[in-house]
Structure 1
Amino acid sequence: MMNECKTILGFPIFNGSREALRAELERRAAQVPGPLCLFYANSNLLQLCHGEAARFSEPGILIANDGVALNLAARLLTGTPFAANLNGTDFTPYLVRTSPIFRRVFLLGGQSGVAAGAAATLAASGVEVVGHADGYGDMTDEAALLARINGARPDVLLLALGNPRQEQWLLAHRDVLDVKLLVGVGALLDFLSGRVPRAPRWVQQLRCEWLYRLLGEPRRLLRRYTLEMGRFFWLCLRNRRGGEGA
């Protein structure tokens, strides 16, 4: 078992360094039957899936914190922040570049051409990309898609459909996927392909990448960073008053 986690809205969120998370994934992959799932928890995912925490709490699922809102919630509910920022945009490329058992990667999701562009970027950094498919036409024939993924024999499937759709898809199909690790990666493929620019490093260091993204895609993200984030903190406050979530 991991040394420590923080419980936010009933979800056990890993609390440790990126090296510790990689080690925990490798340990569980050797012990848990079937594919392991890695989900990155931001405020949007937790408030949308509130009430389904038990489904995300089994040994075959690890959840990492992603975003400043989770860090604020950890301070509110447990008194201390998370040990590290384990957002998927940084941790996922680190994992597939450095882990000895998560080397062969299949990319799925995004608009036409996005997965191919992301695959080229990862391959240029030394990652072994064994296949890719977009999140639209390539997903219409599910049986063919599953056969294509399994036929490529990846260690890792990176799925970019947005949450909670990507997490729900992975949970629904993991019993028929012959893959060690299933990861919901959100906008990662857009960033890797260059379709969406990532915030400058200084903005990331200020933990204001969410604001940079909001300014770049206001129509798509305004609701997430206003109403939905407000609901997330309301749920946290309600749980705190009720003695839950710590």
Structure 2
Amino acid sequence: MDKLSIMGVRIDNMSMNETMDVIKDKIKNKEQYIIYTPNTEIVMMCNKDEEFMELINKSDINVPDGIGLIYASKIKKHPLKEKVAGYDLSVNMLKLANENNLKLFVVGGKPGIADEAMENVHREYPNINIAGSQHGYFKGTHLGKNGDDEELIVLDKINKAEPDILFVGFGAKKQEQWIEYNRDKINAKIIIGNGGTLDGLAGKVKRAPDIFIKLGLEWLYRLIKEPKRIKRQILLPIFMIKVVFRGKDIIKEIKEG
């Protein structure tokens, strides 16, 4: 598997189909597999937060969830195959679960969001075994409460369900902290930190029209809909400026062994 280091963050150079093939294999072999979905914003966050970078790089796979990463890799002559959006990957996992009657557990979001998301999922994918849902407002590692009783109760619920797929949506860094701290305590196969996916599945956040996605302008659509995102979106041009004007080592291949 080809890997790149983009400003120190490991990005696995895999297409959506290749990623799904690995997921199928891990579920079949009953292996735990951790997936993170870094985008340009997360790469920039990691460059100011060594702890976050260390967490991100402990995953089993980091898919390139951001058109900025794709452009940057091409500029530096180490092209990534394609953008693998966390939301799209999550939906493909739902389709896989529906085809194979797999168990799904989701945790994250405000109270009620995870439940709403699963109601919608059940309507669209009736063959999924929805093993449980849990909001993210419990005391746990993601809130600096490592090993709190509330966290232990959530872990017990997950482990009793034995999900094939576990969605964890606490937002950047919090979800990676929670997964990394608890990974050896979780009885689940595929564990993905997928941010606002539950909000999308619950119908609270609408995805950009296909034309915006195809043109790599999903970020612009979201900015138009949510102007307050400007503080986050400004990181994209800053990232691209760094890519253009810094040396070639800003993006480099990671050699195995």
Q: Work out whether residues 131 and 149 of structure 1, in 8 Å CA contact, stay in contact via their aligned partners in 2.
A: yes
Q: 1:149 to 1:48 in 2, by over 3 A?
A: same
Write the deviation string for residues 70-126 of structure 1: whole angstroms up to 9, x where unpaired.
11221233353x222210111111123226789211111111221111112222232
SS of the aligned residue for 1:93 comes to: helix
Give 1:26 shift. Answer: 3.9
Q: 1:207 to 1:237 in 2, by over 3 A?
A: closer
- Aligned twin of 2:93: 95
Instruction: Describe how 1:151-190 pairs up with structure 2 within 5 A.
Output: 151-190=160-199
- Aligned twin of 2:37: 40
- Length, aligned pairs only: 238
Q: Work out whether residues 27 and 164 of structure 2, in 8 Å CA contact, stay in contact via their aligned partners in 1.
A: no
SS of the aligned residue for 1:157 comes to: strand
Instruction: Describe how 1:140-155 pairs up with structure 2 within 5 A.
Output: 141-155=150-164
Write the deviation string for residues 138-174 of structure 1: whole angstroms up to 9, x where unpaired.
8671111111111111111101111121112111111
Distance in 1 between residues matched to 2:206 and 2:56, nearest whole Å: 31
Unaligned runs of 5+ in 2: 141-147, 253-257
- Aligned twin of 1:229: 236
Distance in 1 between residues matched to 2:56 and 2:139, nearest whole Å: 27
Unaligned runs of 5+ in 1: none
Distance in 1 between residues matched to 2:15 and 2:38, nearest whole Å: 16
- Aligned twin of 2:144: none
Distance in 2 between residues matched to 1:164 and 1:76, nearest whole Å: 28
Q: 1:205 to 1:242 in 2, by over 3 A?
A: closer
Q: 1:68 to 1:11 in 2, by over 3 A?
A: same
- Aligned twin of 1:113: 112
Give 1:189 shift. Answer: 0.9
Distance in 2 between residues matched to 1:178 and 1:224, nearest whole Å: 34
**What is the RMSD computed on CA atoms of the aligned residues?**
2.7
Give 1:225 shift. Answer: 0.7
Instruction: Using the TM superposition, name which of 175-184 and 196-205 deviates more.
Output: 196-205
- Aligned AA for 1:91? L
Write the deviation string for residues 44-75 of structure 1: whole angstroms up to 9, x where unpaired.
211222345555445x5100011111112212
Q: Work out whether residues 70 and 82 of structure 2, in 8 Å CA contact, stay in contact via their aligned partners in 1.
A: no
- Aligned twin of 1:77: 76
When normalised by structure 1's length, the TM-score is 0.84
Q: 1:101 to 1:43 in 2, by over 3 A?
A: farther
Give 1:186 shift. Answer: 1.2
Q: 1:102 to 1:223 in 2, by over 3 A?
A: farther
Distance in 2 between residues matched to 1:243 and 1:234, nearest whole Å: 15
Q: Work out whether residues 9 and 46 of structure 2, in 8 Å CA contact, stay in contact via their aligned partners in 1.
A: no
